[in-house]
Amino acid sequence: MHRRVLAGAAAIAALALGAPAGASAWAPAATAPVHPGVQVFTDGAQCTANFVFTSGGVTYLETSVNIAGLQCPLSAQAAAPVITSGSPVNTCYKLTATAQPIQNIAGGVLPQASKWRGDLLARYDHAIPGTPLGGFVQASAVSQSKFNFTIEQDPLTVQKAYTVVNTSIGLHDLGGRYELSLFANNVFNQHYLTSMARPASLTTAAYFPNSLNGTVPKDADRYFGATVSVSF
């Protein structure tokens, strides 16, 4: 018995307000009120609708955000100049010496919106001659490009691109009831965070403006193990 599996999966989450159960989250392209190039406004914030392309295990997401009067990253506030005329873009500034520093974002990106994301799974399964067992090797990979955790486009809250590779090898009975596997996850020891933000306390533009809190998941470090599974 020989089995080879090569598969990819991509997931895109969309917000569908008021959609009935089982309804598609995507409107037909010909009638959708929001499509690439449309300007969307919410409480004074402006976002340019772009597009999502998905094929097999690869997703490409294009976003663009334009927001006026948004708070600046804390690390940029102390040096913000006073500008009383005009509306500079992508620059932290103050309207008066005592005003809160603000910025007008043009061509920014949505938080946690990687342009590229993909995943791949490959498995080879082979019966062991003269035994009631089969052996397998498996490898999977998830990769994504860099993204920012904050809408303020804070340069300190950028997650760099990373690729996580998991591998396993094992045995199973040909009936598929029992399986023993040894695995190595995050083989190349790629470190990454699943969240990053400024601490709510003891962090201001004047004191500790570069302080950050982040969440490090278990899978952000290389680790090894074994699993035994039984199907009933």
Strand partners, 196: 214
Q: Give per-residue pLDDT as tens, 156-167.
A: 999 999 999 999
Helices (H), 17-97: 74-77
Structure tokens at 115: 């342009």
Model confidence over 82-110: pLDDT tens digits?
Answer: 998 888 999 999 999 999 999 999 888 88
Ordered mean pLDDT values, 10 residues apiece, the chain (232 residues): 42 36 55 63 58 78 86 90 90 93 90 92 95 96 95 93 98 94 97 89 78 92 96 88
d(C-alpha 172, C-alpha 179), whole Å:
4
